[in-house]
Every structure is written in structure tokens, then in C-alpha cells.
Structure 1
């Protein structure tokens, strides 16, 4: 890899234990029970999953997060130890915060989540991390993390880092009055289509929103599932189709897309090439159960 490829990425956000139920006949309803064909437990959360795919693409990657403790935490630690992600800036969560976990229910090409958060969003090691000379880019995995710790933007900018931000579905975060102002401070914003519509209060065909997005210096990359992805930047938009593949579990596909796009962007690729890489990483994710399991495919095939 050349010098450009060596830009280190710091992923910040909450780390969860994902309990993944796949092969559901339909989503459960109150008062009823459904049976899944498979179950597995994995390290999860956007910060970890994106970091795992970045590491698989040989992008130097650090995780800045609290790690779960106890029996649940062992799943997270085992996956993290195998991922190639640096744990230099991770800290163990306080036991009094309780367990951070997500129940993910995968149905065909979509999924639903039930999540429990707890404790602080970012450890004190953040300031040491952003001043690490090997780190040049900050990825914030959840909009809620930014709202809980808004000063991380200015601190990262003062350290000379470029910044990307995922959304993650959180109604209170997306509806916050100053959320667009914060989004305007990052280099890349990567919501899925539902999140994009909620944050920007838009409806209709996505391609018609070029004029509405023309005043944004931030590149807005909208993840559209089976319809691929669309990028808005100032007065133009471009799209790239999804790659055909068998859908096993869509959990974490958006986080994998983030890693593909960020890797290409940091390496000076065009927007079209970055969208294509994002879609390639997403296809690897949905082809296996567990948000970061498909990272092994990226590592095997190369970045």
C-alpha cells in the first residue's frame, strides 16, 4: 500500500452484543410467538462492524468504545480479538451500567432491532486517540453518540481529522432541532433511505432532491438496500447499483457499506468508485449471519 492507504481510522460509538435470529416466517406480534431457523451471538454496533470491515480491507483501524463485561462481553471480546482492530483506546464498561445488547430479527432483505443502551457513549481515551499521529479520520457510528457528545466534532477538527457520520435509527436523535447543523459539520453523512427521509423531511423519488441538497458541503451518501446507493454533493447526484447476491442476514450491511466507501474515499478514489466499494462490502455482509462475519470475505478477496 502507498502512503495514502495508511490513513488510520478511529471508529467511535457504542459496542453491543448482537443476538441474531434469522430465518423468521414473519415478525412477531404481541401475544404471539414465532420460531427462528437459526440463532447466533456476535459483537455488534456500528462502530465495531465498520471497524471490522475497515481492518479486513487493511485500513489501519482503532476502536474507541466501552466494551461489555461479564459473560455477554466474552462474545464481544472473542470477535474483537480476531478482527484485526486495535483495542488501544477501548475501556471496559462499568458493571453498574448494565448490559448493552441488541436483539436483531432478520426477515428476507430487512430486519428489526430491539436495543438496550447503557452508560457513557465515549471513553476518556478519545482525546488521546484523536491526537495519535497515525489516525487521520474519525468515523462516528451513531447520530445519538454525536448528540450525547457534540464536542467531539470540534476536538476532532482541531486535531486535523476528517469526519464521517452514520445515522442509525433513533427517532429522538433524528428529530433533534439542531441535528442538520451538526451533520453540516462532517465530511461524509451516511444514512439509509428511511433515515435520510426522516432527517431531511423529504418524500418521493430520491433522485428529485438534488436541488434541496445543493447547499450542502457535506457529501450525503444514502444507502438504499437492493436499490444500491446514491450520493448527493452540492449540485449533483450519482448512484450505483447493489450487487446481486443471496440475502442471508442484512444486519450490519449499512455499517459494512460505510467501511467500503470510507476506504475508497481515503485512498483517493472517485465518488462512483467509492459507491461501488460500499456496495461490494454490503454484499459481503448480507451473505452471512452476523454483522461483521462477512469481513472475512473482504479479507480473503482483498480490498
Structure 2
């Protein structure tokens, strides 16, 4: 069983020719509304791949009975929700330009409840974007911890980030988040890697790198036609974690994460084109060869 902690959100995804500078504007060429939130995206990916998952998140009074509610039920996601009846379910406004660069504005809404909620002690947890202090308490209480600061990395101070890293077994981050974590902790990139058993750093369309036991492994992307990069990192984590609990070695888990992400970026929306295990395995064989039997855990 995989536990996921973090945001459930409604995504408003827009395309723009370029991201404007301060006090300037641009025009929106397309706008769509999708199911999102980093934690929920990961949970949806895990459920679609066939693994059991429990999502710990905050929702507003607008969630119960909504299309998103019914979608989660259909996927079979178990949910431990903090409900705030007089608040909105968190909402993200994302703008992606013609170069694939992205800017996000996020309304926390009901997620403010994280700050005053009791943190659970969990056997296997992945912490996505959420309240830093809540994540800190979860990390201290839980047995096996996977952590992804996401775009909320700027909300973490040295104490909270340091505590989570000290308790983390796996660290996920992209190149921008790695840079910010190093600045917050006043350490080098190499020192950050040494603080965890396993680090996976993604580099957008340039692949990802696994650091574990002093070794470094590069994983190339699976080439596909890009429709929208939103949700690629969440899908990568869903694939990795699903493979990890099945007993696959870390490098194979990264490749499975890469393949899972390749499906998501082919369509706009973080949960509109998630693969099941069979579809993932078929594409895996096309790019990485035979998917070996998992190790016993």
C-alpha cells in the first residue's frame, strides 16, 4: 500500500505564446479545466497502474459529488480527506508557453487545513506538495519516506526542509528544485545527494538521473509528440513508486517512471492519458527491452 500526502486541485491549464514579464501581459490561445493536484495526480497514476493507494489530502465543500469525486471513485483511490466545507478545493492556474516553460498560480483554499491537522504515521509514504510543517511531521513519524518538494520548494525554510531530508529515503526533484534546496540548506548538490539513500533528479526533456549507493545512472526520455508537459513529473513518480513496491530495482523503477510520464505528456491534462501496467510494459519493451521479473522484497 502506497500513501500519498499533498494537494488535490482543479487545474486551469492555458497556453500562451510567451510568459510575460512583470507589469506586462500576453494573450491566452487555449484554456482547459482538468483534474489535478500533485498528490492526486500521483495517486491516480498509481491506481491506474494497478497498485493500492491511499490519498491524504484537503478538499472544500465543492468536492463531494463533483466530477472529480466520481473520477477518484472510478479509479479506486482510497481517500483520507480533511474537508473544509466553507473553502474551495485548491485550484491551480497554469500557463505554458511555446518553449514548454511554465508558470503556476495556486489557490490553497482547503489545503490551509494541513497546518492544523494531525499528521499520520505511515508505513510507506510519498509526500508531494503540501504544507511544509505538515510534511515535516509526517516525515518524522513515518517508516519509509519519499519526498518531492515540487513548486512549493520556496515555502520550505532551512529547518523544515532539513528535517524532511534527514528522514527521507527517496528524494525526487527537478533541476530548479535541486538548486533551490541547495540554497535553502546552504549545501552543494553533491552534499544533498549524500543526505538520502536515493535521489532522482529530472531534467525535463533531457532525461533523469538516479543517484544511489555512490553510483550515478542516466535515464533518457522516451521520445513522443509533446502536447503539454504538465503532470510529467507526477506520472514519473507514480510509475517509480508502483514499480518500487512491486520489488523492481531502482534503475528499472526510473525507466518505468519515464515510460509512464511519456503517456501523460502526449495529451493535455495530468490525468487524461494515464497508462495501465500492460500499456506501460508494452512501451517499456519498445525502448528499454524486456522488463525483468521484480526482486523479492
Residue 141 of structure 1: which of 103, 108, 128 is its match? 128
Higher relative CO (Cα under 8 Å, sequence separation at least 6) belongs to 1
Specify the SS of the correspondent of 1:198. helix
Residue 237 of structure 1: which of 203, 213, 216 is its match? 216
Residues 270 and 171 of structure 1, relative CA distance in 2, 3 Å threshold: closer
Residues 149 and 215 of structure 1, relative CA distance in 2, 3 Å threshold: closer
| Contact 2:229–2:265, Cα closer than 8 Å, also in 1 | yes
TM-score, length-scaled by structure 2: 0.82
2:279 aligned with 1:301, yes or no?
A: yes
Residue 72 of structure 2: which of 53, 73, 80 is its match? 80
Residues 32 and 117 of structure 1, relative CA distance in 2, 3 Å threshold: same
2:80 aligned with 1:101, yes or no?
A: no
- 1:3 aligned partner: none
CA distance in 2, matches of 1:73, 1:168: 29
CA distance in 2, matches of 1:195, 1:104: 18
Specify the SS of the correspondent of 1:170. helix
| Contact 1:253–1:291, Cα closer than 8 Å, also in 2 | yes
- 1:120 aligned partner: 113
- 1:163 aligned partner: 145
Residue 283 of structure 1: which of 262, 274, 287 is its match? 262
Distance apart, 1:27 and its partner CA: 2.2
Residues 299 and 233 of structure 1, relative CA distance in 2, 3 Å threshold: closer
Q: Structure 2: any 5+ residue segments left out of the alignment? A: 282-297
- 1:90 aligned partner: 81
- 2:4 aligned partner: 11
Residues 289 and 79 of structure 1, relative CA distance in 2, 3 Å threshold: farther
CA distance in 1, matches of 2:160, 2:59: 29
Specify the SS of the correspondent of 1:199. helix
Specify the SS of the correspondent of 1:105. strand
Q: Deviations over 1:10-51 (max 9, x none)?
A: 1111211111113x22224534340223x2222211110000
2:238 aligned with 1:246, yes or no?
A: no
Residues 146 and 251 of structure 1, relative CA distance in 2, 3 Å threshold: same
Residues 253 and 280 of structure 1, relative CA distance in 2, 3 Å threshold: same
Q: Deviations over 1:145-202 (max 9, x none)?
A: 3434522223223xxxx22111112354344344133212111110111101111249
